[in-house]
Amino acid sequence: MNETVKAAARAPNTASLAVHGGEPVRKTPMPPRIALGEDERRMVLEVLDHYAERKVDPGYQGAFEKIYNVGPEQFAERITPNVSAAIIVHAAGYATQIDKIVEIARQHGIKVIEDCSQAHFARHKAKPVGTFGDIAAFSTMYRKAHMTGPSGGIVYSTNLDIFRSALVHSDRGKPRWRDDFDDRNPSTYLAPALNHHTDEISCAIGLASLRRLPATIVSRLAFVSDFVARLYDASEVCRAYRFMPTSSPFYFPVIVDVDAIRCSKIEFAEAVRAEGIDLNTHYKYVVCEWPYIRPYLADDFDTPNARSIRDRSFNLYLNEKYGEQESRDCVKAIVKVEKHFKIAS
């Protein structure tokens, strides 16, 4: 290269920058959001009909504000003098707004038990679930992100008294931390209690699973992320539940537009399952529906939002072995079924 050519090569090519009059990379505008589409139009018409029927104008804090609107405020509303403890479930891999719930609970002297069985190491504001309340429980049965064998569980607390009480109740009333405790002398035990204690084999399996847990969660998240994108592109009837990178997927809810199909949601989900997709057609763990539990609840407990979302969804089972092929197959099965059951528009 002679000197003149070298100098030209070093000189900035200002004309090629768009800011200097060159061709821009993108010649069409970026897509506008248009967040208000057909769905929103339909919902607004629903509001107008709802209030027209009642011969009043729509205001605020009404029926539509209440739908999905579940959070710490709803927890606060339910507190009565009978409430001494609250079990907060981090369901479907997602952390609840646990910090606010704990704050409200503390103001009322209410103990908070976090049930983290479906959300091991899901985070809320950068802190893992289980570290907010007074005590936390993690199921570690064989389907859970962290498992200790066929069946098992972990209890976590930073409060030593609470932790010791849990220890006593998990192991036949034994106060193992006390100097005068004698394993062979039941008269030194503190209370009648069952034998829920664990064993060396379960703990060793649990350690191996725990070491793999970050990778387990990343794989599960990768599957869910891929599935959500594919479902969004392909389905007209189903949409994915919310997805957050801070969650720890256990199962994944798929919401069905029940007005767009000519079968029940359960029949729809059964048809998807028959295509070879592992799923729960109808989540029956909605506490307010269990007759035996009613005497233990502080009031006439009902969770209409939980019932509502359950009635419109099925849950894909998943694990860390699921990859792109499983994601494709899940979406293919859903789309195949919805083509069959979709009401012609």
Ligand X SMILES: Cc1ncc(COP(=O)(O)O)c(C=O)c1O
Which residues would be at the binding site for ligand X (CB under 6 A)?
Answer: 89, 115, 117-118, 139, 141, 151, 153
Nearer to ligand X among residue 74 and residue 151 (C-beta): 151
Terminal Cα-to-Cα distance of the chain (whole angstroms): 68
Q: Which amino acid is present at 334?
A: I
**Of 268 and 283, CB closest to ligand X:** 283
Q: To which residue do tokens 């997927």 refer? A: 249
Q: How far is the CB of 138 from ligand X (least distance, A)?
A: 9
Distance CA 49, CA 64 (A): 12
Write down the number of H helices and E strands in the chain. Answer: 10, 10
Angle (CA) 142-143-149 rounded to 5° is 10
Residue owning tokens 């009401």: 343
Nearer to ligand X, 216 or 327 (CB): 216
Shortest distance (Å) from residue 207 CB to ligand X = 18
Please state the closest distance from residue 151 (CB atom) to ligand X, in A: 6
Instruction: Give DSSP secondary structure letters for 164-177.
Output: HHHHHHHBTT--TT
Whose Cβ is closer to ligand X: residue 88's or residue 335's?
Answer: 88
Distance, CA of 50 to CA of 53 (rounded, Å): 6
Provide the minimum distance between the beta carbon of 183 and ligand X in the complex, in angstroms, as a whole number. 26
- For 30, the 3-state DSSP assignment is coil
Which lies closer to ligand X via its Cβ, residue 151 or residue 159?
Answer: 151
Query: How far lies 8's CA from each of 20, 258, 285, in Å?
Result: 18, 66, 72
Cα–Cα distance for residue pair 182/174, rounded to 1 Å: 9
DSSP 261: B
Nearer to ligand X, 63 or 201 (CB): 201
Q: Which two tokens stand for residue 22?
A: 């060159």
CB nearer to ligand X: pick between 133 and 327: 133
Closest distance of CB 137 from ligand X, Å: 7
Which is closer to ligand X, CB of 21 or CB of 150? 150
Which residues, in sequence order, are CB contacts of 280 under 8 Å at separation 6+?
251, 314, 315, 317
Assess contact for 70 and 305: CB atoms under 8 A: yes
Residue nearest to ligand X (CB): 139
Q: Which lies closer to ligand X via its Cβ, residue 139 or residue 327?
A: 139
CB of 233 to ligand X, least distance (A): 31
Question: In the bound complex, what is the minimum distance in angstroms from residue 139's beta carbon to ligand X?
Answer: 3
Query: What is the chain's length?
Result: 345
We find the least distance from the C-beta atom of residue 280 to ligand X, in angstroms, to be 11
The number of beta carbons lying within 10 Å of the beta carbon of residue 98 is 24
Nearest approach in angstroms of CB 235 to ligand X is 27
